[in-house]
Amino acid sequence: MDEKKQYSEHEKKNIVYQCPMKCEENKKYNHPGNCPVCNMKLIPIKDSNPHGFHHFFG
């Protein structure tokens, strides 16, 4: 995914971050940063569950 992609306001609300190496399987974060396991930059992904029925870590 191109990190410079512009998201609409609606899409921004459904963005979560995940390690590209999936070190922690499908663990998602609600803010950008680095993976605590491999230290790679977390990448933005669209949240597959925009209604908030999951937990965020970090």
Q: Residue by residue, what is the 3-state secondary structure of the chain?
A: CCCCCCCCHHHHHCEEEECCCCCCCCCCECCCCECCCCCCECEEEECCCCCCCCCCEC
For the chain, the structural domain boundaries read 1-49
Note the pTM of the prediction, 2 decimals.
0.61
- Note the pLDDT of residue 47: 77
Consecutive 10-residue runs of the chain (58 residues): their mean pLDDT?
Answer: 51 82 91 95 82 51
- Note the pLDDT of residue 1: 47
